Structure 1
Amino acid sequence: MNPLTGLGPFFAVDTHAADEPVRPWHPLSEVLDDGPVLRERIAQNRAVLGGDFVEVRVAASIAHLGLAARIISPALGLAVGSGAVPDYSAAWWQPKLGGAFPLSLKENPAVESDVVTAFAERVLRGPLARLDKAMAQFSLAENVRRGNVASALNGAVTVLWSERPEWTQRAAGIVGALEELPELAGTATRVGGRFRRRSCCLFYRATPDRDGPKCGDCVLA
């Protein structure tokens, strides 16, 4: 059984062999660096959120959080469910707004003896590190960027705990180890099992008065 089956759209992926997929697939790498594709996606997010009154950094943060969640979710599902970590250097996407965009990963990723180390290298220090560098160009503070990644990771493991309760202990162990790595250390707290980040994704500022609703895990909530 595919370990990602039934986990929802942010976990769902297509797979491809060594040959490159054809259009409408695009290399995921095109949206991980500061360039026209990422800038267009942020501009589209800004338009959807409300247009000119929305700060660019707010639109960038929302785009960053969505991209991080789409990258982290299937990687965590595979890591917990099968002990494998995908190689995002061979990933493909379709640039669609709204929800989880289509994503294709190379089929049959290898099972790892050290899932946490593999996840750190192939996910946190791979595509997410590239995306982090790109998002810094939009006046998005480092603590917000790191908090977005932590929030995306928590969102993913929350789904796993709900949909795959038999994975609870393994998922908690992997995520707990990831949260101690330099990329995530100090980004959030867990009190009584409740996750609260130590930064804000800025979504509340996407209103004319910049005083919209706060997310449930927000430091301002």
Structure 2
Amino acid sequence: MTPPAPRTKDAGAVVAEITALGPFFAFTTHEDTAAGTASAPGDAGWQALDGPAVADRAEAVRAWLAAASGRRPDAVEARVGASVAHLGLAARLVSPALAAAVLHGVLLDHPLAAARWRPVLGGPVPLSLPAAALRGPVRPPGPLADAFAARLHDGPLAELAALHVPLGVSRHILLGNTASAVNGAAAMIAAARPELAAATAEFAAALLDREPLRAQRDRTAAGAFRRRSCCLIYRAAPDRRGALCGDCALHTPTDTRP
């Protein structure tokens, strides 16, 4: 991975470049005078990603999954809704952070309490992050991967996972969701910016080779990423034999599910 060049762009240009990668990378910024106290600018509806909001999101996703097959919300296990909700939120936090690291050599660091979101269903949720998170120093790839991995232990992704543990999702699954989000974000960056594919793959591999994600890293015979857990979404199907995600640990050579 080529060391990042010194930053010459202002924060608005950095946000625009990251947002251009796709809807999972899109975010706006707000000034955060004290973690957890500032509000995102613009129209109403921005919320903190706290325990009650996460619990509401899990129930909303559970109902949405059940409605897809015309069933009541309680037809889907609560932990399935919580895991799928966590995977979506983890992808929203990981994607811009990975892009900031690959494109600009910056650790997009902030407490979960400083993030704001709008709980819409049916796609990537709107996200606003504190502007201060963009003002960190430019770091070489190795130290940056170390710092990124360290914040997966105690940063916003770890805080988000901790909020889902009381909802019945194991830490093993939550770490798998985070690893899957890292791999997925890397694939989306490579698709949007092919010239960054090698650097992105190298940085994502460095993260997946470090704790806390190392235990979730596996490879298929063809060399593709495979997690060592399952997000449980297949259990939302009426017969609990729904489609498996492409990186799911439950895939077998004889599995005919897509």
Q: TM-score, normalised by structure 2?
A: 0.77
Any idea what the Cα deviations from partners look like across 1:10-48, whole Å, max 9, x if unmatched? Answer: 1011122355335432233x2xxxx32111111111111
Structure 2 equivalent of residue 207 of structure 1 = 237
| Structure 1 residue 111: Cα displacement | 3.2
CA contact (8 A) 2:152 2:212 kept: no
Structure 2 equivalent of residue 99 of structure 1 = 123
SS of match in other structure, 2:129: strand
- Check 1:209–1:134 CA distance in 2 against 1; reply closer, same or farther (3 A cut): same
Please tell me the residue identity of whatever aligns with 1:150: A
SS of match in other structure, 1:86: coil
| Structure 1 residue 124: Cα displacement | 4.8
CA distance in 1, matches of 2:123, 2:152: 21
Q: Is 1:27 the counterpart of 2:27 in the alignment? A: no
SS of match in other structure, 1:4: helix
SS of match in other structure, 2:97: helix
Q: Which residue, out of 85, 91, 111, partners 2:137?
A: 111
Deviates more, 1:49-58 or 1:184-193: 184-193
CA contact (8 A) 1:204 1:214 kept: yes
SS of match in other structure, 2:74: coil
Structure ranking higher on relative contact order (CA contacts 8 Å, 6+ apart): 1
| Structure 1 residue 145: Cα displacement | 1.3
SS of match in other structure, 1:196: strand
- Deviating beyond 3 angstroms after TM superposition, the runs of 4 or more aligned structure 1 residues are 17-20, 121-124
| Structure 1 residue 117: Cα displacement | 2.7
- Check 1:139–1:27 CA distance in 2 against 1; reply closer, same or farther (3 A cut): closer
Structure 1 equivalent of residue 22 of structure 2 = 8
SS of match in other structure, 1:209: coil
Count residues in correspondence.
216
Structure 2 equivalent of residue 195 of structure 1 = 225
Q: Which has the larger radius of gyration?
A: 2
CA distance in 2, matches of 1:124, 1:76: 16
Q: Is 1:75 the counterpart of 2:97 in the alignment? A: yes
Q: Any unmatched runs of 5+ in structure 1?
A: none
| Structure 1 residue 73: Cα displacement | 0.3
| Structure 1 residue 151: Cα displacement | 0.7
Any idea what the Cα deviations from partners look like across 1:63-120, whole Å, max 9, x if unmatched? Answer: 0100110000000011100111223323222222221111112334323323213322
Q: Is 1:143 the counterpart of 2:167 in the alignment? A: no
CA contact (8 A) 1:87 1:109 kept: no
CA-based RMSD = 1.9
Please tell me the residue identity of whatever aligns with 2:247: D
CA contact (8 A) 1:72 1:152 kept: yes
Deviates more, 1:186-195 or 1:35-44: 186-195
Q: Is 1:157 the counterpart of 2:179 in the alignment? A: no
| Structure 1 residue 174: Cα displacement | 1.6
- Check 1:64–1:175 CA distance in 2 against 1; reply closer, same or farther (3 A cut): same
